[in-house]
Amino acid sequence: MNLIGHNEVISASRLVERGKIYSLAIPIQRTGVPIFPHRGPPQRLTTVNDQDQPRHLNGGVPSGTGPNADMLIAATHNGTHIDALCHVYSDWKLYNGFPSNSFKTADGAQHCGIEKMGGIVSRAVLLDFAGLVGAPVLDETVAISGKMIAAAERRQDIEIRAGDIVLLHTGWLGHYFAGEANGMPPSLYDVPGLGMSGAEYLIDRDVAAIGADNPAVEIMSSQSTTFLQLHLELLVNRGIPLLEHLDLRQPISDGVNRGMFIAAPLPIMGASGSPINPLLIV
């Protein structure tokens, strides 16, 4: 994120020509969206509504008048979200060498928590890999390589620059919703995504963050014996945040390949991530 300075923000704002805003978030709801079962679905619970009229009347509120209110219980790594740099650890260390045991049970992260990230505004580059291969979705065995990224840049006539937010369209989220509608949603553990050579390509270009329309940005296989290899490389070793479960369908359909990207993680003290509603403005 240190690669995003005043010039990058101003440059991103100059990309806005039509004033069209794309929300890249999927709905926060209990069913019908990709949810990792071990994290649990989000719960929107009503705390007060018109069934509490007697309580309001005792407070002098006129009959037929009153509030609705609710509370949200949600895992920070389900739905559309961003990973903080403390999300994973390797060799008992977080990013910047902080010890993994500095993440406490009660207080969370003492270092690299999501509240340190602040707001994110920069140029987004949207690369369409499903379009690159001429299919609605990449095969689940496809790891996006550096060569594929270079080919997507040429095909879409765009070049990744330092400080960019790079968004990868694999087609997986659209594939998920199509399967969900037919009662056969695909596995969240076998998905196409970024491979190591692709990650190295983006690292070499000093990108600020990487997002995708899949559950983990990186390729995942239920048969793999390694733990989130790219999470460890990008978050722990490189300090590059990851944005997951981005809904890129509409901008891809509209032929968008760049724009002003805005995201504001919730300042949850000590959290390893945050739900977001990222915006792409063109």
Q: pLDDT tens for residues 69-109?
A: 999 999 999 999 999 999 999 999 999 999 999 999 999 99
- State which residues form the domain around 50: 43-72
- Whether residues 47 and 127 fall in one domain: no
Q: Are 271 and 115 in contact (CB under 8 A)?
A: yes
Domain match, 193 and 216 both: yes
Q: Quick one: pLDDT band at residue 50, thresholds 50, 70, 90? A: confident
Residue 37 lies in a domain: no
Alpha carbon distance 48, 70 (integer Å)? 7
pTM above 0.85, yes or no: yes
On whether residue 128 sits in a domain, the answer given is yes
Check pLDDT > 80 for residue 60.
Answer: no
227-248 b/e with 16+ CB inside 10 Å = b? Answer: ebbbbbbbbbebebbbbbbbbb
Same domain, 194 and 182: yes
- Total of domains in the chain: 2
Encode pLDDT of 111-123 as tens digits. Answer: 999 999 999 999 9
Question: What is the DSSP pairing of strand 165-169 with strand 143-144?
Answer: unpaired
Average pLDDT estimate for 23-48: 95
Q: Is residue 140 part of a domain?
A: yes
Q: Where are the beta strands (DSSP E) in the chain?
A: 21-23, 43-48, 69-73, 81-83, 103-104, 108-109, 120-128, 143-144, 165-169, 193-194, 209-212, 242-244, 258-263, 273-275, 279-281
Same domain, 159 and 217: yes
d(CA 268, CA 84): 11
Would residue 10 count as lying in a domain?
A: yes
What value, to the nearest 5°, has the Cα angle with vertex 246 and ends 208 and 15?
A: 55
pLDDT of residue 66: 84
Residue 132: CATH number of its domain: 3.50.30.50
